[in-house]
Structure 1
Amino acid sequence: MSSESSPPLIAAQLNHLALHFPLLAKIEPKWSGSKDYSGVLDRFTLAISYCLDFIKWDVIFDAEYPMSAPDIIFGPEDESFQQFLVLHGEDPKSPMNRLGGWDSRDPTQLMLLVQELRDQYMAYQMKRVGEVQDDRVKFEISTIAFREMIVLIPSTFLQGIEMHLSSGYDKPEEVKFAVPLVDTNINKMVPGCPWIYPQKIYLQVIYPVENKFVSTPSAPRLKLVATPDLKTLFSIDDVKLPTWLTGMCMAEYLPPLEETLEKQVLEAVSLIDVRRRFIEALAVQFGRPVEADPIFCRKATFLAASGVFTFLVHLTITTQFPKQPPAIVLQSSQHFNPQGVPIKSLPLTDYPFSPRWEASLMAERIWDFLADEALIFKKYCNEQY
């Protein structure tokens, strides 16, 4: 989020928002709204994560009056959100209060305003979904609310499940739920974890709104979604969702799914040590690695030689190791293409390997394989050189 072209007071607000906002937020290209200060960017579109998607609001500062509070323009689908805010303006937590007492010299103001607006937007969407005339949606809300408050998160329903009513002239009404799964702090399970934000897994559940009685409603659309950094440890693409049976509701569907996910996350954490032992076994054969991933143990690079020919051995280890063999790429230390880039081999995965072998045997077989493969790679480099 660059703020180099914004007035200092506005830039400070943007920088604090970028560094400290607890959820994902993106500032899309900024523009100027002043004829006299055309080179000064004082307004932008803010994309804020909500219900596994993004809501976009225009934030309008005034370069001529940078000490003034910004105006917020909501998207066309949320025109009634403005009215909702006015009706709840007397709430002590209302963002209207912050706008009324705006302190431009406090760099936290914009971040706190966006956070308060998002909290109100969540309440606004809950109200909209609660007014939907669909018996199945109403039933799901009642069962999930009970589950969220009593079983999983005793504190408050609002801190867990998010929901959104999507409607428009050119698309049918749908209610989308974002249900957080695995009530465990995954970050704390990984020693030396580098993640800034808590890693989460969600189930996205989308119901078409049925305004008339349907004897056998169709199953909702289901999708697992995870925060981006989690793929370094655990890929949700490897999870097979259970079948949604006829007459089932989310309160029935979620517990077995969560139990499966919790076991798979624990297994994924335990596999870090399996990969670490494998890299240590490779070091016995190749020597100390030039570089290696010390936290997730997903990558390692070793220096090797075949006679006077020296090359690097790059290993990429998947989260499915040892079920899947590492991909090996060789890189010459002596041969470069016309652009000056070191010549590399294609990824090698077809070599002697078994997930049942001990790490030491895996390393020995890779060493033996590369003794022959190095000659082939050297010949290839000489032909390209």
Structure 2
Amino acid sequence: MIWMTVGNSRSKDLTELEMLSEMVTGARFKEILLVLSWSEMMAVRGCDDEGRKRSSISPVTSPKNITQNREVSKLSAIAMAADTLPPLIAAQLNYLLTHSPHSVKVDQIWSGCKNSNLPDRFTLLIPFCLDYIKWDVIYNAQYPLVAPDIIFAAEDDIFHPLPFTGEAEGDVQTPKSSLCDWNSKDPSRLLSLIHELRDLYTSYQRKRVGEVDDDRLKFEISTIISREGIEMCTGGGIEKAEEVKFAVPLLDMDLNKLVHGCPWRHQQKIYLQVVYPVIRKYSSVPSAPRVKLVSSSELKALFSIEDVKLPPWLEGMCLAEYLPTLEETLKTQVLEAVASIGVRRHFIEALAPLFGRPIEADPVFCRKATVLAASGVFTFLVHFFLPTQFPKQQPVLMLQSSQHFNSQGTPVMSPVLTDYPWSPRWEVSQMAERIFEFLVEECLNFKKYCNETLLQQR
């Protein structure tokens, strides 16, 4: 913490701390002051354990190093289902949302009876080919032991996934469906049903793509069909299809295991979306497909696919030729992103000798840290936001007052600060020192900004 004045006696130290506690209305800082030990009080005032003066500018050591960000739980579809659906149906839905390897979402829940307050049906958003398909799951609240009906989208009117058990084509028997011997008391049955239908839907879409009259598409499919996890779909009917989309999983590596202690519940993947325009017989030269990298939003904490420069698609190139070069580049950048976590962690550790221990820090990806600082009796927080490209890209700083609040009751914040001395070639200790020196002056400007903000509200 930046502290501009230093007391000369123990009684004065306590008096100013008590006064500071009264002035600071932020609940977090009040809690911090309540648990300060004597040695920590002396650290606040720049003195040693005997009350002797140490320096004219010294850090405040926070009483507690909070190494994890507290995640605020949100109202999820799981909780909503448990509160509104009949118990047996809720158990099925909760199990699906909790245990599915796909990020299945609930779009809406409603009742099949106009005069009933007991909902018994819902719409699922199921990930497929880097998009979502909507399926309505129809239970009957009056007969909760009966298996549900599934209603597919109107454009999939020819999708008939579950023929009657025992129907045969020649001597081949149809596999047994999850709907057979339905057990409503087994919460995993809906999960099994949805996964079975999704697998059948994947095969259905692959068959439709294969029926599109385009020689280039047929060749592309033949070269990558053996690749595990690839999905494809048509944009419209087979006769009117204008384009065909491919979702190609990249990197044969477990991204979740690369980051120690990562909070990801679903398996993280990076995909290449390839969109081929359908070539008619009368067309001349086939145009290059549109390509784009896609990943889950959670992966952005580690690695931003927007920083990847896609290799050019050369004339006459096929997808099987394009993928190896892309994957090699992508793998290198992902491993560099994992290694940069350690660099960011060392930078956050380098803040402690100058600012005191951070009161908050991101322990997994080391993307954020917050320290408590003061100039005289003006106390404020310094938020550090570290980019994935650190140290090539410098941290973004933001100051937050502990004593000034706007008309909505929220603390006054500074604009983002990036105009300070920085070089990616410096040692992390020098980076922290230069930021500290910058903030010694900048905190005075911020205090003036806070006071002007309050005057404008009057």
Output the TM-score relative to the length of structure 1. 0.92
2:219 corresponding residue in structure 1: 139
Give the Å deviation of 1:19.
0.8
- Residues 1:381 and 2:450 are matched in the alignment: yes
- Using the alignment, how far apart are the partners of 2:204 and 2:239 within structure 1? 22
Give the Å deviation of 1:35.
4.0
Equivalent pair of 1:316/1:327 in contact (CA under 8 Å): yes
- Using the alignment, how far apart are the partners of 1:87 and 1:178 within structure 2? 32
More deviation, 367-376/6-15:
6-15
Correspondence for 2:330 among 261, 266, 276? 261
Equivalent pair of 2:162/2:177 in contact (CA under 8 Å): no
Correspondence for 2:362 among 260, 278, 293? 293
1:206 corresponding residue in structure 2: 275
How do residues 146-225 of structure 1 correspond to structure 2 at under 5 angstroms? 146=226, 148=227, 157=228, 160-168=229-237, 172-212=241-281, 214-225=283-294
Q: Structure 1 89/115 Cα, relative in aligned 2: closer, same or farther at 3 Å?
A: farther
Give the Å deviation of 1:100.
2.6
Correspondence for 1:46 among 124, 128, 140? 124
1:283 corresponding residue in structure 2: 352
1:341 corresponding residue in structure 2: 410
1:86 corresponding residue in structure 2: 163
Correspondence for 1:109 among 189, 198, 203? 189
SS of equivalent to 2:158: helix
- Using the alignment, how far apart are the partners of 1:343 and 1:367 within structure 2? 21
- Which residue identity is paired with 1:19? T
SS of equivalent to 1:346: coil
Q: State the percentage of identical aligned residues.
A: 63
Give the Å deviation of 1:309.
1.2
Bigger radius of gyration among the two: 2
- Residues 1:5 and 2:84 are matched in the alignment: yes
Give the Å deviation of 1:102.
1.0
How do residues 67-86 of structure 1 correspond to structure 2 at under 5 angstroms? 67-82=145-160, 84-86=161-163
Give the Å deviation of 1:339.
2.5
In structure 2, stretches of 5+ residues that fail to align are 1-76
Alignment deviations for residues 92-111 of structure 1 (CA, whole Å, 9 cap, x no partner):
885x6221311111111111
SS of equivalent to 1:97: coil
Equivalent pair of 1:93/1:116 in contact (CA under 8 Å): no
SS of equivalent to 1:141: helix
In structure 1, stretches of 5+ residues that fail to align are 149-156
- Using the alignment, how far apart are the partners of 2:239 and 2:159 within structure 1? 21
- Which residue identity is paired with 1:382? N
2:393 corresponding residue in structure 1: 324
Larger relative contact order, structure 1 or 2 (CA cutoff 8 Å, min sep 6): 2
- Residues 1:27 and 2:106 are matched in the alignment: yes
RMSD: 1.9
- Which residue identity is paired with 1:71? D
Aligned residues: 371
- Residues 1:308 and 2:377 are matched in the alignment: yes
Give the Å deviation of 1:213.
5.3
- Using the alignment, how far apart are the partners of 2:213 and 2:204 within structure 1? 17
Q: Structure 1 165/225 Cα, relative in aligned 2: closer, same or farther at 3 Å?
A: same
More deviation, 243-252/203-212:
203-212
- Using the alignment, how far apart are the partners of 2:279 and 2:130 within structure 1? 23
Give the Å deviation of 1:143.
0.7
Equivalent pair of 1:302/1:314 in contact (CA under 8 Å): yes
Q: Structure 1 233/92 Cα, relative in aligned 2: closer, same or farther at 3 Å?
A: farther
SS of equivalent to 1:29: strand
More deviation, 183-192/163-172:
163-172
- Which residue identity is paired with 2:163? V
Output the TM-score relative to the length of structure 2. 0.78
Q: Structure 1 168/128 Cα, relative in aligned 2: closer, same or farther at 3 Å?
A: closer
- Using the alignment, how far apart are the partners of 1:108 and 1:92 within structure 2? 25
Alignment deviations for residues 147-190 of structure 1 (CA, whole Å, 9 cap, x no partner):
x2xxxxxxxx4xx1111122149974321110001111111111
- Using the alignment, how far apart are the partners of 1:170 and 1:289 within structure 2? 62
Q: Structure 1 92/265 Cα, relative in aligned 2: closer, same or farther at 3 Å?
A: farther
- Using the alignment, how far apart are the partners of 1:382 and 1:35 within structure 2? 58
- Which residue identity is paired with 1:113? L
- Using the alignment, how far apart are the partners of 2:379 and 2:220 within structure 1? 63
- Using the alignment, how far apart are the partners of 2:327 and 2:165 within structure 1? 36
